[in-house]
A = this chain, B = another copy of it.
Amino acid sequence: MSKKSAQELVSQILEGNTRGIAKAISLAENGLAIQSKEELIDSLYSHCGNATIWGITGPSGVGKSTLLDKLLEHLRRDNHKVAVIVVDPSSPFSGGALLGDRLRMQRYATDEQVFIRSMASRGHPGGIAGATSDAVKIFDAAGYDTIIIETIGIGQSEVEIVKLADVVLLILVPGLGDEIQALKAGMMEIGDIFVINKSDLNGADRLQSELQYVLNLRGEDKSGSEYPLVMTCATNNQGINELYDRTNHYLTTLTQSGILSRKHRKRLEYEVRAIATAKIREKIDFNSRLETQLDGWINEIWLKKASPYKLINQKINGLIKEMEHR
């Protein structure tokens, strides 16, 4: 990208131009134009930090999209400008379910204040978490005050992604069976607010007791309207009000107590470390470089054209010098 078109793109994003935003996110997803992407994010960075980030996660089939749809209604009623990033690290293309969601969300197609974007492809350099983080910055700089990251499935990538959020809603349904056991073992830690959706199904009460038990273990001492467990039935709008209010209340408390700021700082730490580590790993891909050269080194030493230590020292310094210019 030329310097001029890069500056133009930055201006478009800061004005909230949707075509510019879409282009920028594609750039963030695209591993081929790393330098352009980095310059773009760097240019936007000083304009970031104003959005509130929601994470919505849980196993597939729990009704995340319907719930999200209902929450969007509330957010729009309160006049929020909302960006939704739907992340599916496991599938290279948007599958059927995702397409259905897209259609369902089409009612926001003409709403300039709602931007829905899926990041559904694998193989982002630096991981899907890195690309999502860049997308969040683009939306943030573009003036979206609420950014919702929806992840599909439960796994390491999802955990990394929800670390980007200020508040994480973990959605469950009765009858998940073994899945809930696995969740309990570790993933439970990633939810700030637990949602039992499809609460009209059999087993909702049992799931509720189980989650209350987990919350007790976690030492949650909140009660009443602060208790981080909400029963919903998204399809007939039950419990959505309560969930929306409780999420906002949670965010307000977080902000006022100063915890949110510490959380942001932690997130930045995590992000800088991830970028630095990925870059180091990529730059210092010594093993493969060594393998391509080693035969030549050995030959020179074998033929006594060179002394071993002198040659090895020279060559390794050469490799390091090369790295520097990569």
CA distance A225 to B23 in the complex (A): 79
Given contacts A302-B268, A316-B280, A316-B283, contact A43 B307 (CB under 8 A): yes
CA distance A268 to B273 in the complex (A): 39
Which B residues are in CB contact (< 8 Å) with A107? none
CA distance A37 to B225 in the complex (A): 72
Is A46 touching B268 in the complex (CB atoms < 8 A)? no
User: Closest approach, in angstroms, between the C-beta of A91 and any C-beta of chain B?
Assistant: 28
Q: How large is the interface on A (under 10, 10 to 19, 20 to 34, 35 or more residues)?
A: 35 or more
Residue A97 CB within 8 A of the other chain: no
Is B265 touching A308 in the complex (CB atoms < 8 A)? no
Is A42 touching B280 in the complex (CB atoms < 8 A)? no
Residue A17 CB within 8 A of the other chain: no
CA distance A41 to B324 in the complex (A): 30
Given contacts A273-B294, A307-B45, contact A324 B313 (CB under 8 A): no
Is A302 touching B45 in the complex (CB atoms < 8 A)? no
CA distance A260 to B302 in the complex (A): 14
1/0 contact string of A153-165 vs chain B (CB within 8 Å): 0000000000000
Residue A312 CB within 8 A of the other chain: yes
Chain A contacts to B: CB under 8 angstroms: 38-39, 41-43, 45-46, 265, 268-269, 271-273, 275-277, 279-280, 283-284, 286, 290, 294, 297-298, 301-302, 304, 307-310, 312-313, 315-317, 320-321, 323-324
